[in-house]
Structure 1
Amino acid sequence: MKQLISVLAASVALAAPAAAQTYAVTNGRVVTNTDAGILENATVIVRDGDIVAVGAGAEIPEDATVIDASGNWVTPGVFAAFSQLGLIEVALEGSTTDDSAGESPFSVALDVADGFNPAGTYLATNRMEGVTRAAIFPSTGHNIFAGQGALIDTSGDAGSLFQAGSFVFADLSESGAGRAGGSRPAAWAFLEAALADARGYPGRFSGDHEGDALNRYDAAALLPVARGRVPLVMAVNRAADIRRAIRFKADNAPIQLILVGAAEGWMVAEELADADIPVIVDPLEDLPSSFDSLGASLQNAARLQDAGVDVAYSTAPTADGYFNARLVPQHAGNAVANGVPWDEAFRAITLTPAEIYGVGDRYGALAPGYAGDVVVWDGDPLEVMSAPVAVLIDGEPTALESRQTQLRDRYINITDDTPFAYRR
């Protein structure tokens, strides 16, 4: 006989790890992120971690654990396109930060997979807000290259880093120019020299010789980028720098390029679309934080998407990417308020990030063959007051609790009967 579990209690009742089994999320307003669109009163069947059926007429297996969505929204999990989850615990305490290494002789060879902590406090707080997957980025050190990024889930399990070496991150913005010697020409010259070093590896490094820009370990790490096997994620903001990035891609085929920031992207939207370069933008970036982004606009996302650019949303560039990736649905909601259709805005925080990083056939949609990352919300997921009431990652329900909620529950009803002078 089927088990019937209230959606409000599902995350608690099913928090303990269990053998792989079948779950049926029923009676939901299912956002598929496919040509099927949004399905009313539909069911999502997840077996052994994968989605096996979606639809209003999906047959519920006899052995399924049923999660009744009670008419609420059912969606794929949020994919944070630009974050540092699990890399920083306390930003001002160096021993808890593994996002950068400014004093290291290495740059491209630095891999955030070696510093990711699946037990990081902020994974739980982001999971509670519907974030099930994320790309984690290094921060730049002594040159324009920050290192290699990775893809994670927010389950907190030991195996939650599911793809290392997913991309290489480089800063070609105003700050990158400063690290390269003080100007944009210096930054671009360093990038071109670094690519030449990578293409010449290992022959260029025979004997005691080093490269023009990189040592042998960094050159080896950049070689997959030079050969087009791994994307280069490049931070740029002003329109002139974006045009330079477009030319860089054309001159260095078969390189794959992803832009992050792109505050003035709307000025060159048609060119980005023609070059088939995806971008990661913050839809709320509208005030210039530097001369790089004087043209920042709340219509940036809408204009880029209208032009046919593949756009993912993030909360970047911000200083709180290690704990507040969970705000990306709110940013997507603001994109809707500024001209982006709802379905495109939601896709920009789920399926599009997965596609940009090459895993769009596995994450970001509710369809057979996709991973069982399913979120049940108590309202429109892009409304700031909505929240998840159940979250499944790889087909397993997760606990909707964190250190903060545990502390709240521990102290909320304490009655102190000691004399007033002894109370803390």
Structure 2
Amino acid sequence: MKLMLSLLASAVISTSVWAENIAIIGGKVHTMTQLGTMEKATILIKDGKIAQIDRDLRVPDNYRKIDASGKVITPGFVGALTTLGLVEVSMSAGVVDSSVKKAGVTKTGAALDVSYALNPDSSLVKISRVEGITSAATAISSVDTLFYGQGAVMSLGDDPLLKAHAFMKVDVGSDGAEGEGGSRAALWVALETALEEAASVEGKLNAQDDWHGMNSRADVAALKKVLSGKMPLFMQADRAADIRQVIAFKKRHPDIKVVLVHGVEAWRVAKQLAANNIPVIIDPEFNLPGGFDQLGATLANAARLEKAGVMVAIGMDTHNIRLAAQHAGNAVANGLSHEAGLASLTSAPAKILGMQDTIGSISQGKRADIVIWSGDPLEVTQAAEQVFVNGEPIKMESRQTKLRDRYLSSQKASHSQPTQYLRP
């Protein structure tokens, strides 16, 4: 045992010794902290952490210098709600981990845990990463139960799991009602009953305990984290009437950290959301109703929420979170402030997920998840030039860039050569 501990300690020391120290110099840095935006700043990265940030810093000799003059630097973007790492091809003939059918371990779905299902080898990870996404909240998107289980926060680096049991999700709109008897009259009673039952259990249910509840033993353990405020409850709703029920729920359960998800008509009750400190994760692209719950869809949703004082994050409930910056840019074009647009991809989701001390901003001691951009990241004409995940510069390559380069090369080739692609 002593030998094993010694070897582990040596491995840790060796890793820290050989980790590259990096100085990013001269860029326009959006810190997403009280320091605001710093012109011509220097960021020192050591052992995967941000060691220092300031203007006119002296760079130690053992740091590799990266000239970012004329570039824009942001924290790595955080996908506030995705299915990244769970879906490769949604209609695959194999297992798709974002969809769960009836399972013996759970009755209400609260016990489901996506942290076991994360696949860091998904091609979507590299595709999202070269677009500036360095971490993402990921969750189940299809269930046969009341709750969608416990989501996780994943890094898009080599070690995928940043935080297990990061949040619980429930749909209190039409889709959720459809699965609970076909009516909100049954859905809300089921939700309150499930929580009341979990609250009534003192301590932990053991395997030998007699139990015949609505929840399974594992469901009860998970719901206790929600009731105590340790795990946020993501409540999906679009129509204003359902969102008012979410607000009423928060008043009944002040200890629960409620987060509104999707919220197509959230702008209609923006003041009430702000008054009850309920942040919103939205897809700001909804402009036309996709159903009767979305009749009030508008591209001004994010701007109106910000004006009322609501914290806004962008999450698209998809594995294609790479489009988040474009969506934030469109929200800014429709009235959201530029600062709030950047925050919706960085500091806001980090705060919602309780990870503001780790990700979502550039400040001393935090993970060095950083992106160097050619220009304003909310402009579609600009791009990420270098992404760092936990202080490591990643190779700016994905399946899509390889396809691009393959066929750009074939176009330059002589027309006398075969047009098919030949593997090198």
Provide the TM-score with structure 1 as the length reference. 0.89
Query: Cα 1:385–1:421, aligned 2, differ >3 Å: closer, same or farther?
Result: closer
Which runs of structure 1 show a deviation greater than 4 angstroms over 4 or more consecutive aligned residues? 202-208, 414-424
* Corresponding residue of 2:195: 195
* 1:124 Cα deviation from its structure 2 partner: 0.1
- Cα deviation digits, residues 107-140 of structure 1 (max 9, x gap): 1111111111011110000000000111001123
- Where do residues 176-187 of structure 1 align in structure 2 (5 Å cutoff)? 176-187=176-187
Fraction of identical pairs, as percent: 41
Partner residue of 1:362 out of 354, 358, 363: 358
* Corresponding residue of 2:398: 402
- Cα deviation digits, residues 42-73 of structure 1 (max 9, x gap): 11111111112112212211111111113111
* 1:226 Cα deviation from its structure 2 partner: 1.6
In the aligned structure 1, how far is the partner of 2:130 from the partner of 2:282? 23
* 1:217 Cα deviation from its structure 2 partner: 2.0
Query: Cα 1:143–1:420, aligned 2, differ >3 Å: closer, same or farther?
Result: closer
Query: Cα 1:416–1:263, aligned 2, differ >3 Å: closer, same or farther?
Result: same
* 1:405 Cα deviation from its structure 2 partner: 2.5
* 1:365 Cα deviation from its structure 2 partner: 1.1
In the aligned structure 1, how far is the partner of 2:399 from the partner of 2:417? 30
Report which stretch shifted further, 48-57 or 161-170: 48-57
- Cα deviation digits, residues 138-162 of structure 1 (max 9, x gap): 123112211110001112x1x2211
Provide the TM-score with structure 2 as the length reference. 0.89
- Cα deviation digits, residues 211-245 of structure 1 (max 9, x gap): 1x322222222111122211111101111111111
In the aligned structure 1, how far is the partner of 2:378 from the partner of 2:50? 24
Query: Cα 1:20–1:171, aligned 2, differ >3 Å: closer, same or farther?
Result: same
- Where do residues 6-405 of structure 1 align in structure 2 (5 Å cutoff)? 19-105=18-104, 106=106, 107-155=109-157, 157=158, 159-201=159-201, 202=204, 207-211=209-213, 213-316=214-317, 321-322=318-319, 324-405=320-401
Contact 1:80 1:349 in 2 (8 A): yes
Report which stretch shifted further, 413-422 or 51-60: 413-422
Contact 1:166 1:357 in 2 (8 A): yes
In the aligned structure 2, how far is the partner of 1:345 from the partner of 1:69? 22
Q: How many pairs are equivalent?
A: 400
Unmatched 5+ stretches in structure 1: 1-16
In the aligned structure 2, how far is the partner of 1:162 from the partner of 1:356? 15
In the aligned structure 2, how far is the partner of 1:53 from the partner of 1:113? 32
In the aligned structure 2, how far is the partner of 1:277 from the partner of 1:307? 12
Contact 1:169 1:232 in 2 (8 A): yes
In the aligned structure 2, how far is the partner of 1:362 from the partner of 1:417? 53
* Corresponding residue of 1:5: none
In structure 2, give the amino acid aligned to 1:50: K
In structure 1, give the amino acid aligned to 2:332: V
In the aligned structure 1, how far is the partner of 2:415 from the partner of 2:352? 58
Report which stretch shifted further, 32-41 or 284-293: 32-41
Contact 2:25 2:69 in 1 (8 A): yes
